[in-house]
Amino acid sequence: MTSGLDEFKDLLSEFNKLSLAVVGAGVIVPFAASLAVLAPPWPPGIVILTAIGDLVGLVLVFQYLRKSPRRTVNRVIAWSALALLLTVVMYLAALSEFTTTTPTDNPTRIVFGYECTEQARLVYGERCAAPRLVQLAEARFESYAFWTRRSITVVRVGLAIGWLATFFSLTVLLGTFLVYQSRQRKRTPAKT
């Protein structure tokens, strides 16, 4: 007789196989996106946090939806698909609006804030909110020369939450599908 933990291990294995088939690399998905410069520049360990969040999402799906009726499963899949679409769009828009890559020999990504420092306001006026690349270069691409620490922190946290929410939505979508399909497979024995 199989235990719930055995069933979860099977689900985890199936999730990794499906992830591999869909996007190319189960748990490696966040790493691949990071290499594609889609990950937020902060915090440095976002990929590890993403993998942990994905595992937590899979545990929640397994725990709460393992015995749910098809109607409930369909609703969760529909809502998680909608959440995935919205989080991807919002994350990419925020990433585009609040980050840039330095045009240097060693390119790095910097995060913009939304509130100017007093000094930047004196020097650049209201243009401090959206400085040009030349102005950023003059400040050695130091975000704190233009924006307050608080506004940069809020943007950083917002980008990280958007990234994590996107992957969490994907995990709920795929995990719910797998939980239901594995249950269906057990109900219908394979024909030999």
**Number of domains, the chain:** 1
Report the chain (192 residues): mean pLDDT per 10 consecutive residues: 73 67 51 69 89 89 92 97 98 94 86 92 84 82 92 97 95 91 72 56
- How far is CA 20 from its chain centroid? 17
pLDDT at site 99: 93
Q: What CA–CA distance (Å, rounded) separates 186 from 179?
A: 11
On whether residue 93 sits in a domain, the answer given is yes
Is residue 136 one of the residues assigned to a domain?
no
Residue 89: give the domain boundaries.
Answer: 4-113+148-187
Instruction: Please report whether residue 14 resides in a domain.
Output: yes
| pLDDT value at residue 24 | 46
Residue 70 belongs to a domain: yes
- And the tokens for 10? 């099977």
In a domain, 55, yes or no: yes
Q: Is 33 among the domain residues?
A: yes
Does residue 63 sit within a domain? Answer: yes
**DSSP string of 77-146?**
HHHHHHHHHHHHHHHHHHHHHHEEE--SSS--EEE--SSB-HHHHHHHGGGGGS--HHHHHHTTT-GGGT
Residue 142 lies in a domain: no
